[in-house]
Amino acid sequence: METTNQVNNRGVCLWLTGLSGAGKTTISIPLVEKLREMGCKAQRLDGDVVREKLTPDLGFTKEDRDKNIERVTFVAELLVRHGVVTVCAFISPYRAVRQYVRKETGKFVEVFVKCPLEVCEDRDVKGMYAKARTGEIKNFTGISDPYEEPENAEIVVDTSKMTLEKEVDTIIDYLRENEYIF
């Protein structure tokens, strides 16, 4: 019996950016699951996992954050070139670095995972925001380091107002409408 593995997508870098606790990882997991159920080649690159496995040598200075994203971009571009919907969940606080990713990957969709700082702090089970506010953690995005909100993100999901299901559906709808998935 012959089987075909039809792929129902084109390669694209789907870049989820937002504050710590905004919901990037929370969205990326069911998003990738749903894409795979639809017959798409999809892969998730998550900030916490990448920092542990690919960039453990880097800290959180601006230079180290930029180097982290540079390495992730290399991996994302390879995946995109091989037809994979690559879902990247990174704080990536600087606009210039996100522009770099856009340029390098070629096919890029910026998803602003919007959430008020107070809500992110309320969600913080690790207490990182509290540690940042006391100075225990340096260079913490949103507290002692800036987060430059996207000015023209293709997709904006406000996790303080939307359900997870609606957030995932909003992204899937965009991918369909723009013929990244079919």
Catalytic residue among 28, 92, 144, 160: 92
Cβ–Cβ under 8 Å, residues 72 and 105: no
φ, ψ at 4 (rounded to 5°) = -115, 140
Residue 160 is a catalytic residue: no
Q: What are the residues whose beta carbons fall under 8 Å from the beta carbon of 59, sequence distance 6 or more?
A: 139
> What is the DSSP secondary structure assignment for residue 152, as one 8-state letter?
S
Nearest to 54 by CA among 42, 67, 36, 35: 67
Cβ–Cβ under 8 Å, residues 20 and 132: no
**What residues are labeled active site?**
92
